[in-house]
Amino acid sequence: MSLLAVDNLSISIGNVTLLDGITFSVDKGKVLGIVGESGSGKSLTALSVMGLLPLSRGRIRSGSVIFDGIDLTGLREADYRKLRGNRIAFIAQNPMTSLDPVISVGDQIDQVLRLHLKMTRKAARQRSIELLSQLRIPEAAEVCKLYPHQLSGGMKQRIVIAMALAADPDLIIADEPTTALDVTVQAQIIELLVQLVRQRDMALMLITHDMGVIAQACDDVVVLYAGRVAESNEVGAIFRQQNHPYTQALIGCIPRAGMAPGSLKGIPGSVPSVSSYASGCRFHPRCPAAADVCRTQTPQITKTADGGHVACHFSAGVQG
C-alpha cells in the first residue's frame, strides 16, 4: 500500500473546477515530482494534501486523499493539526515565510522538536545541531544562535529543511524549495534533501516547474496542465518517451550543452486562468497536434504501453 494515494481528486469553487481527477501515489523512500507551469495546479494539489486549501467557498467535489490508511478528505481540523509538522511536513518556496525573523534559528528548530517529540531543551538543542550538521552547515552550534537575516538564502532554506525533518515525518511536501535560491545552490539543496529523505525512508512530494529538477531528483513524475493530469510515469520512461505533447514541450525547454544559439524551444502561449479553461483538452490552444476532436472532447486518462498514464486523444504510447 502506498504511503500517500490521491485518487480522482477534484476541487471546485462554484462552477469552476480547479483540480479535475488528479490521481497519483507515493511510497516510502521514494520521490514523486509534480511538474507543470505556474497555474497548472501543483501548489493547489500540495495544499489539498496538507488540508490547507485557501478557498473559503471551495470544496473537494470528489475523490480521496489516503495517507497511511487515513482518508484526509474527511478529517477534522483538530486531527489534521496532529498530522501537520509531525507526520506530514511542508517546505515552502520562500524560506522567509517559514522562519520567524525575531527568533534565533536554533530556537526555531528546537521548538519543533519540543512540541512534536516532547524533547527537553538540552536534548532538542543537541538534535538541532546534529540536523544542521547533516545538512552540511559548518559550525552548526554557532549557526543555531543566529537570526534568519544573518544567513544567506541557501542557509535559510537548509534551516527550513531541518525544521521539516526535525519531527521525523513520514511525508515531506516541498513546494519549489529552491526557486528563491541562486542556481549554484539549488542543485546542492535538492541533492541533500533527496539524500536525507531516502536515508530516513520518508516519502517526498517535490513540486517544481523545472524538468531538470525532476531528472535530478525524482523516481516518478506527474505532469499537470490546467488542473488535470496530462501524463504520469516513472522518470526514466518519461525522459525516454513523452506520450503527451505538453510533456514533450516541457522537456524541449531544458537547455542542453552544445545547443546552437536560438535553438532552445519555448511553449507558445501561457497556461489559462481557471475562468478561461478551454473546452475539450485544455491544452488544445497551445498544442501543435490539436485536431477538431480535441476542441470538444476531454481526453480520458489511459494506460500506456510503457507503464504510465496519459490523457491525449492521439498519444502513440497508448496501450492497444
Please enumerate in sequence order all residues whose Cβ is within 8 A of that of 236, keeping only pairs 6 or more positions apart, or say none: none
Contact between 21 and ligand SF4 (CB under 6 A)?
no
Per-state percent for the chain, helix, strand, coil, to nearest 5: 35, 25, 40
In degrees, rounded to 5, the angle at the alpha carbon of residue 85 between the alpha carbons of residues 82 and 91 is: 150
- CA 26 to chain centroid, in Å, comes to 11
Contact between 165 and ligand SF4 (CB under 6 A)?
no
Contact between 289 and ligand SF4 (CB under 6 A)?
yes
User: Given candidates 80, 147, 277, 314, which one binds ligand SF4 under the rule CB under 6 A?
Assistant: 314
Q: Which is nearer to ligand SF4, 171 or 310 (CB)?
A: 310
Q: Are 299 and 285 in contact (CB under 8 A)?
A: no
Contact between 180 and ligand SF4 (CB under 6 A)?
no
Contact between 299 and ligand SF4 (CB under 6 A)?
yes
Alpha-carbon distance of 291 to 314, in angstroms, equals: 9
Window 223 to 262, contacts with ligand SF4 (CB under 6 A): 244-245
Instruction: Tell how strand 31-35 and strand 88-91 pair up.
Output: unpaired
User: Given candidates 281, 304, 308, 317, which one binds ligand SF4 under the rule CB under 6 A?
Assistant: 281
Contact between 277 and ligand SF4 (CB under 6 A)?
no
Shortest Cβ 19–ligand SF4 spacing (Å): 18
Q: Which is nearer to ligand SF4, 150 or 296 (CB)?
A: 296
DSSP states along 193-243: HHHHHHHTT-EEEEEES-HHHHHHH-SEEEEEETTEEEEEEEHHHHHH---
From the list 61-69, 114-122, 152-160, 281-289, the region that binds ligand SF4 by CB under 6 A is: 281-289
State the cell numbers at 92.
515552502
Contact between 284 and ligand SF4 (CB under 6 A)?
yes
Find the Cα–Cα–Cα–Cα dihedral 30, 31, 32, 34, rounded to 10°.
170
Please enumerate in sequence order all residues whose Cβ is within 8 A of that of 272, keeping only pairs 6 or more positions apart, or say none: 39, 226, 278, 282, 285
Shortest Cβ 280–ligand SF4 spacing (Å): 7
Contact between 294 and ligand SF4 (CB under 6 A)?
yes
Q: Which is nearer to ligand SF4, 125 or 286 (CB)?
A: 286
Contact between 310 and ligand SF4 (CB under 6 A)?
no
From the list 16-24, 153-161, 265-273, 307-315, the region that binds ligand SF4 by CB under 6 A is: 307-315
From the list 25-33, 39-47, 161-169, 308-316, the region that binds ligand SF4 by CB under 6 A is: 308-316
Alpha-carbon distance of 298 to 197, in angstroms, equals: 37
Q: Which is nearer to ligand SF4, 80 or 314 (CB)?
A: 314
User: Given candidates 127, 283, 308, 317, which one binds ligand SF4 under the rule CB under 6 A?
Assistant: 283
User: With 0-12 CB in 10 A as exposed, 13-18 as middle and 19+ as buried, what is 11?
Assistant: buried
Shortest Cβ 92–ligand SF4 spacing (Å): 32
State the cell numbers at 136.
552540511
Binding site for ligand SF4 (CB under 6 A): 244-245, 281, 283-284, 287, 289-290, 294, 299, 312-314
